[in-house]
Amino acid sequence: MTQSTLLYNIGQLLTMDQYEGPVRGKDMGNLDVKENYAVLMKDGKVEKIGPSDELADTQADEKIDCQGKLVTPGLVEPHTHLVFGGSREHEMALKQQGVPYLEILKQGGGILSTVRSTRKASEEELYEKAMFHLNRMASYGITTMEAKSGYGMDKETELKQLRVAKKAGENHPLDLVSTFLGAHAITEEYKENPEALLDEMASLFDQIKEEDLAEFVDIFTETGVFTIEQSRRYLQKAKDKGFDLKMHADEIDPLGGTQLAVELGATTGDHLAVSTDEGIKQLAESDTIGVLLPGTIFYLGKGEFARARKMIEEGAAIAISTDFNPGSSVTENIQLIMSLAALKMKMTPEEIWHAVTVNAAHAINRGDEAGQIKVGRKADVVVWDATNYLYIPYHYGVNHVNTVFKAGQKLFERGDLLV
């Protein structure tokens, strides 16, 4: 294990270290870029940050000449459905024929198809699969991320998913934050009585706390899934048990999920593709972070992307995410999402870098640990095959990572052709 590594000759360094809390509104547009810098990592932590010519002679086990490259904090991914069985490539044709996402779900496909595969899969199978996807996440520069359950919707399978996420977090170098999404769809058994499904899921809250299986509780508030009233009651129960809250809100129909997330003091409201003016106003005036998922809108072939410009102009704090899952956003490539945020939501590169670092970290309660390169903090750092931060959202669809460091150790290095 390398004890100390010096990265020198950094062309542009984004430390994002001037912030105490999430970055809101217009402040998301200001990026502090340090040029010709160096970072010393020692015993897993950031030891020194300074001009390259001042630190170049510092003793270190390994010295890496960054040759003018861009260096940033490890990226933070605040919304994934990491643990699931099977896949849904057979639904692609239905999507092409124009069958809407909620219609596929109504016919017993979509999320419910993944529920069937996840119920069948063993804990070992789910674990191997989750580790595979985690490796790929890391390869794109992600060093901390969230993982939801939500493909069980029976007690046994939900607990199985949460235990898999816990074990993956313990064994994989990435830091994982777990969310209980037992309220993700209405299964056949509960078609006539969704309240009973919510009661069943809520009956797991104590055990989830006792076994430390999740920090957040989440719900899919949507037409044909859970109503605003059902969501309010369920999330209030979760809050009373000491969970922090997240919501899949205003993704397809504007039911007012954004306002409910604010009303309940949720840490995040996620999707928000069709938030109303009133929803955006309330979000901007609240501490709730908007987690926008442009990959989902792109993948579902919908025209309406979340109104990031309005949200930022009104003063909201925004993060972005892959929403990695087997149905509505099948990608681990957060860099692609950065491009979609630029092209489809008109976010500026400066805003986008805030959205994948400091704000994403606050979106999963890791603002004090992740998303910034700061002396004394865990050394989660990415060296990019680019000389400036504008380049990553600009050159889309490929992986620009040169090297990922997690707690000061090399976690991923770009492979070269063998011939």
Ligand X SMILES: N=CN[C@@H](CCC(=O)O)C(=O)O
CB of 63 to ligand X, least distance (A): 43
Q: What is the C-alpha separation between 269 and 184, in angstroms, rounded?
A: 15
Give the binding range for ligand X (CB under 6 A) out of 22-30, 127-135, 320-328, 349-357.
320-328
Closer residue to ligand X (CB): 82 or 283:
82
Q: What is the C-alpha separation between 115 and 129, in angstroms, rounded?
A: 15
Helix axis angle, 111-120 relative to 155-171, nearest 10°?
80
At 131, which helix (H) or strand (E)?
Answer: helix 123-139
Closer residue to ligand X (CB): 38 or 273:
273
Structural tokens at position 392? 């990553």
Residues 334-393 that bind ligand X (CB under 6 A): none
The owner of tokens 């499904």 is 197
Closer residue to Zn ion (CB): 63 or 79:
79
In the complex, residue closest to ligand X by CB: 327
3-state secondary structure of 362: helix
CB of 254 to Zn ion, least distance (A): 17
Which of Zn ion, ligand X, none binds 220 (CB below 5-8 Å, type-dependent)?
Answer: ligand X
Write the CB contacts of 355 (distance below 8 Å, at least 6 apart in sequence): 28, 292, 318, 319, 320, 341, 347
- Out of 12, 52, 328, 357, point to the residue binding ligand X (CB under 6 A): 328
Closer residue to Zn ion (CB): 244 or 323:
323
- Out of 268, 296, 339, 403, point to the residue binding ligand X (CB under 6 A): 296
Closer residue to ligand X (CB): 18 or 223:
223
Residues 319-338 that bind Zn ion (CB under 5 A): 323
| Alpha-carbon Rg for the chain in angstroms | 21
Give the binding range for ligand X (CB under 6 A) out of 117-125, 192-200, 323-331, 402-410.
323-331
Q: What is the C-alpha separation between 45 and 333, in angstroms, rounded?
A: 26
Residues in the interface with ligand X (CB under 6 A) total 14
Query: Cα 241 from chain centroid?
Result: 24
Structural tokens at position 202? 């809520």
19 in contact with ligand X (CB under 6 A): no
Give the binding range for ligand X (CB under 6 A) out of 134-142, 236-244, 321-329, 371-379.
321-329
The owner of tokens 């072939």 is 301
- Out of 42, 63, 81, 281, point to the residue binding ligand X (CB under 6 A): 81
Closer residue to ligand X (CB): 296 or 403:
296
Annotated binding site for Fe(3+): 79, 81, 248, 323
Which of ligand X, Zn ion, none binds 326 (CB below 5-8 Å, type-dependent)?
Answer: ligand X
Annotated binding site: 79, 81, 88, 151, 184, 248, 251, 323, 325, 327-328
77 in contact with ligand X (CB under 6 A): no
Compute the Cα dihedral for 48, 51, 56, 58 and give only its sign.
negative
- Out of 13, 41, 111, 284, point to the residue binding ligand X (CB under 6 A): 111
What is the DSSP-derived secondary structure letter of residue 220? B
Compute the Cα dihedral for 306, 394, 363, 149 and give only its sign.
positive
Which of ligand X, Zn ion, none binds 11 (CB below 5-8 Å, type-dependent)?
Answer: none
User: Per 3-state DSSP, what percentage of the chain is helix, strand, and coil (rounded to 5)?
Assistant: 35, 25, 40
Residues 214-253 that bind ligand X (CB under 6 A): 220, 248, 251
Pure H helices in 264-307: 277-284, 294-299
Write the CB contacts of 328 (distance below 8 Å, at least 6 apart in sequence): 101, 296, 299, 300
Give the interface with Zn ion as residue ranges (CB under 5 A).
323
Give the interface with ligand X as residue ranges (CB under 6 A).
81, 110-111, 114, 220, 248, 251, 296, 323, 325-329
